[in-house]
Amino acid sequence: MHKFFVQLLLVCISSLTFAQVAFKPVKDTVALKAKIDNMSKNTGSIDSDFTQVKNMSMLSEKITSKGHFWFLRQESGAQKSNNLRWEYTTPYQYTIVINKDKILIKDEAKVKKYDMNSNKVFKEINDIMVSCVNGTVLNSNKFKIAYFENETGYKLELWPTQKNMKESLKKINMYFDKNVTSVVKLEMQEPGDDLTTIEFSNKKLNGPIAAEKFMLK
């Protein structure tokens, strides 16, 4: 599973700017999947800034937040774990850490700890986010995936197949650079056409990240 883990991590992390050139279907999807697998295998850590924009179409309203993102793949013998930290810094302070099967949240000064399965609502949101970040979404039967490309990169459209997920999520778009070295941008489109965009910038791949980053006190 870890090989997919990095797919979206990388997905989430490129500072490339995509030209808005029309995308067309990818002919050789097997080769593209292989590139994404390779990208995942070669990425052990990611350290990046991110900008998130929530666009509420009906209300003509945008909420922009910024922060920092860390990913670390840890291997101890046969055991592998994928750790994530999303740290929102402006306009509010909020940190979410996924450490194995634990979810840790720091909201202002309060720290909350959850088992992954203890909160149905949280699990639903988290499953979507994590599977995008760790790339398991590519192998998931919860989505039908369409592959597109233009001169500067690739776009994967992930359409939910399950009824309950369709009620909350219309589709996810994942953008890769042309060499598939990283993910550039994530877009999550809701049924009412609200759109959440996360763009990654200033990324550092495979640098050292302390395990303490994935603990909260």
151 to 190: interface string for other proteins, x by CB under 8 A: -------------x--xx-------------------x-x
Of the pair 132, 180, the CB lying nearest other proteins is at 132
Of the pair 191, 207, the CB lying nearest other proteins is at 191
Q: Give a three-class secondary structure readout of 78-99.
A: CEEEEEEEEEEEECCCEEEEEE
For residues 92 and 83, give the distance between their C-alpha atoms in angstroms, rounded to a whole number: 23
Contacts of other proteins in 66-125 (CB under 8 A): 66, 86, 88, 90-92, 94, 96, 105, 107-108, 112, 119-121, 124-125
Compute the least distance from the CB of residue 165 to other proteins, in Å: 9
Number of residues that bind other proteins (CB under 8 A): 39
Among 17, 42, 57, 61, binds other proteins (CB under 8 A): 61
Position 203: which residue type?
K
Contact between 17 and other proteins (CB under 8 A)? no
Of the pair 192, 207, the CB lying nearest other proteins is at 192
For residues 70 and 46, give the distance between their C-alpha atoms in angstroms, rounded to a whole number: 6
Compute the least distance from the CB of residue 178 to other proteins, in Å: 27
Which strand ranges, in their side-by-side order, compose the sheet holding 79-90? Answer: 24-25, 143-149, 153-160, 171-177, 183-189, 195-205, 45-56, 61-76, 79-90, 94-99, 102-107, 110-115
- List residues near other proteins by CB under 8 A: 52, 54, 56, 58-59, 61-66, 86, 88, 90-92, 94, 96, 105, 107-108, 112, 119-121, 124-125, 128-129, 164, 167-168, 188, 190-192, 194, 196, 198
